[in-house]
Amino acid sequence: MSGAALRRNGLGVLGLTLAALAVLAALAAPVLAPHDPVKGDFSQGLKPPGTPWHPLGTDQLGRDTLSRVLYGARVALFIGLCTVLLTAIVGGILGLLAGFFGGWPGQALMRLCDVQLSFPFILLALTINAIVGLGLRNIIISLAAAGWVVYARVVRGEVLSVKQRDYVQAAAALGTGRARILFRHILPNVAPSIIIVASLQFSQFIVAEAAISFLGFGVQPPTPAWGSMLSESRDFLYIAWWLAAFPGAALALTALGVNLVGDWLRDILDPKLRV
Amino acid sequence: MSSCECRAAPSGTSGTLVGMRAYLLSRLAQTALVVFLSLTAVFFLVRLSGDPVLLFLPMDIQAKDVNEFRERLGFNDPLPVQYARFVSGAVRGDFGESLRYRRDALRLVLERLPATIKLGVTALLLTFCLAIPIGILCATKRGSLVDYLGMGAAVLGQAIPGFWLGLMLIYVFSVRLGWLPTGGMGGPAHFVMPCVVLASFYAARIARLTRSSVLDTLNEEYVLTARAKGLAEWIVIGKHTLKNSAIPIVTLAGLETGQLLGGAVITETIFAWPGLGRLTVQALQNRDFPVVLAAVFVISVTYTLINLAVDLLYGWLDPRTRREVAL
């Protein structure tokens, strides 16, 4: 194995490990967490890390930081997963149809993408979230509404190029039905790029959700989301650094893990795709 | 590949200029359409999301006053009438009065724009000064310790969320060491942390792209030719490689410049920077929709104009795309 391949796989393994840890934290939070993430004990407020029974300290309400960070993985991964699935399905189908059938509906869809892309992603998601309202469900809707265009664009572009390939032309010449060409010949060849976009978007969605919750929209306290924990921590930065340090570190490590997995998948599946 | 070649386009100088003007006009028309459509979308989303008046007014207000307020702002009219009024106002740059500041919404937004531009330009300069040399260095010293460290830092920089980095910087440099102010706009010291936060993510992406783009170009035949001619390494890199590596870098840099506007929203909020991003967040929090619409207008105009500028730069760097455009 060459040095570059070794490094690539090494980073891939690191990414998988970090991502697996985040998934483990999310799934096993009730088992791993030493305390209730929402219920506090006022007599135990603002204890620093290393306090017995509170390895990462407690917040102003005496809630255990470790438990909240573990449960935060649940919120983050749940939102990330739902958003990625929603955007992949909606954006993927629209891109597939726009690329395959073309015509004015395809053009209209691409103009709609232009409109959406004329606005920074985070600001678009934030604006939509401020309008549709707060909470877990609405943040998923907002992120998906802002994020689907990437799939639509990439998938449409891929379909347009796959459509020209010989095996598709041959299938069409043999009189294969349109639906069969679309699902048997085109979709499997477009699928890798959908997977790559999904893996690269996943961390963007998690970080965007945290940013929006940090700004006071999105997921609301007392739900233990990393973004809203960071938002609350701002008032205590002078006396309790751990309230800001740990949720943010969990977010950064999760994003790092998912990014590395995404890069690795792209190297394996399609090194030329630039998203 | 030299710049003289692209000036002598086959259609002649005047033909290119005419083509260029037509291209610019069509792009500006597209920009206007895109801005108009995004304003329309926000307008209807706002109106469909519920009665805006109840969101503007305090909870304990009398029903009579609510109705009066509604009548005064024209919310009792049918939706198409409201939309027509909105459009005719927006065309003249009139988005109404801010419900909070009782001042012209667009003027309020434009007043905040310079602070955001100052922050954005400084962060952009920092990004380029940092990212492009690192990317080139990593590419030319591929596989070395420098490469590993540089790319490791880039991967980390991409994963660390700006708002967390901002909080940690405030903790270290303001709370602990007391070296830098926690926020606000003022002397050079006020620029340090917001710029570092804003630049970190973009610098990471641009460094990675510069590295891969330079590596791609180093494999091209004209670089081999240049080397075979016995040219000095700095000429091979500086003259033959960099200009040709620049195209993807400029494209991404352009896209990222627009995204800086998004990053500014968060950075400005953390560091209490009196810019457009912070104003937009506050307007969204207060449901001050005239300001939201004016901000959407200014942001999408700025964003699409940046993209247009990037496309023009792209044509200058790569004459091949320019000829297609001129036709």
The ipTM of this complex is 0.84
For residues B170 and B243, the answer to whether their CB atoms sit within 8 Å is: no
Nearest to A248 among B164, B292, B300 (CB): B164
Q: Of A89, A97, A87, A91, whose CA–CA distance to A160 is shortest?
A: A97
d(CA B225, CA B227): 5
Nearest to B143 among A3, A234, A274 (CB): A3
| pLDDT per position as a tens digit, B57-91 | 665 666 777 777 777 777 777 888 888 888 888 88
Buried b (16+ CB within 10 A) or exposed e, B235-263: ebbeebbbebbbbbbbbbbbbbbbbbbbb
Buried b (16+ CB within 10 A) or exposed e, B52-76: bbeebbeeeeeeeebeebbeebebe
User: Quick one: tokens of B20?
Assistant: 């260029």
pLDDT under 50: residue ranges of chain B: 1-14, 323-327
pLDDT in the model for residue B2: 36
Closest approach of chain B CAs to the CA of A267, in angstroms? 13
Tell me the pLDDT band of A18, cut-offs 50, 70 and 90: very high
Q: Given an 8 Å threshold on Cβ–Cβ distance, is B38 in contact with A118? A: yes
| pLDDT per position as a tens digit, A70-81 | 999 999 999 999
User: What angle (nearest 5°) sits at the alpha carbon of residue A207, between those of residues A239 and A192?
Assistant: 155
pLDDT in the model for residue B12: 41
Nearest to B171 among A241, A259, A260 (CB): A241
d(CA B207, CA B150): 8
d(CA B101, CA B288): 9
Q: Given an 8 Å threshold on Cβ–Cβ distance, is A115 in contact with B37? A: yes
pLDDT in the model for residue B189: 84
| pLDDT per position as a tens digit, B46-60 | 777 666 666 666 656
| pLDDT per position as a tens digit, A93-139 | 999 889 888 788 888 888 888 888 878 888 889 988 988 888 889 99
User: Quick one: tokens of A91?
Assistant: 């954006």
d(CA B215, CA B15): 37
CA distances from B75 to A194, B68, B70, B87, B256 (A): 44, 10, 5, 15, 39
